[in-house]
Amino acid sequence: MSLGPLMLDLRGVELQADEREMLLHPLVGGVILFARNYQDPQTLRALTAQIHELRSPPLLIAVDHEGGRVQRFRQGFTRVPAARCFGDLYAQDAGRALALVQDTGWLLASELLSVGVDISFTPVLDLDAGVSSFLGDRVYHRAAEVVASLGQHLMQGMRKAGMMAVGKHFPGHGGVTADSHHEIPMDERSFGTILMEDLIPFERMINAGLAAVMPAHVIYSRVDDKPAGFSSVWLQQVLRNRLNFQGVIFSDDISMAAAEVAGSYVERAHGALAAGCDMVLVCNNQTAARALLDELDLGANPASQARLIRMHGVGSVSYNELCNDEKRLRVAADISSLEVEPELGLDDDGIAA
């Protein structure tokens, strides 16, 4: 059975019978985990093993694990500083910031892989224009080149551990104040401005081998009247053709308010896939997920399936082995000096857009 185009979520720390049935549906290709699915590393490892054993090839297992306030698993995991901490350090000591963020990428990926998680939806490549409280300290820096450098080094660290990176939120969420979880953000800047600013980190990361991208639920009104994740202009003409991106495109959660402009859940999924997404996230609404499994009529997409297969994590060590790993202990100590109190505003079970 190949990987389908839908990524769904679960209710708790154990896989229920009805959820098992959903995950066996051929339209499903992945699972996204939240804080409600986490009790401790051992319980999580048992859950991911159950999920992976359901299918061949195994379903992809993902989580939002950026650091700061967006870190679903905490007890038993190293507390990862928010992205802005690395940006602030870059202003003081660029070399140390780049080395530390690369080590952090290795650490966060190693810990997740050790409990059976394939993908972290990170790094955030938006620019800090100072207008988005929704993004806040999730953003590295205001300068595109700094964001690109920090993001690339995080990606390199993740890759050393065996995990691919996912850059978000293409083509850039930093220029709007509205939170796409609750509103429909509208960015009225020209394509030229976005190209010369927000697209720079994505272009640099793609040239360095970025494996996956997540588009923003933002309407860039001077480019297209659809949010980027439903826009063939952004996903095909710009991302695939202009930037020559060959990796996976994950939609952002189609349960978010900003996705409502695309219609019903079936229309949203069809719209995202037709625009160029390889996999669509459906979070915190299992009723909608079941409706999609019943009503969504799709043929196989071999290109998407081939891209998705490459997102599986590789080469992990056991959690117990990693706990005593000298490099892990060193990196955890190094990044502890960057810790700050996380900003409020995103609950543990909210998709981290």
The answer for 284, left when phi > 0, alpha when psi is -120 to 50, beta otherwise, is left
Of these residues, 64, 187, 252, 278, which one is catalytic?
Answer: 252
Q: Are the C-beta atoms of 216 and 171 separated by less than 8 Å?
A: yes
Burial (CB count <10 Å: 0-12, 13-18, 19+), residue 93 = exposed
Residue 136 CB neighbour total at 10 angstroms: 18
Instruction: Please count the CA atoms within 13 angstroms of the CA of 176 that sit on its side-chain side.
Output: 24
CA distances from 278 to 28, 173, 250, 303 (A): 12, 21, 6, 9
Tokens representing residue 219 in the block: 């309407």
Of these residues, 52, 65, 181, 217, which one is catalytic?
Answer: 181
Report the distance separating Cα 47 and Cα 42, nearest Å: 9
Tokens representing residue 21 in the block: 């049935």
Q: Are the C-beta atoms of 152 and 159 separated by less than 8 Å?
A: no
Active site residue 181: yes
Local structure of 16: helix, strand or coil: coil
Place of tokens 């915190």: 284
- Nearest alpha-carbon partner for 180 in 229, 140, 224: 229
CA R_g for the chain = 19
Report the distance separating Cα 294 and Cα 208, nearest Å: 40
Active site residue 325: no
Catalytic residue numbers read 181, 252
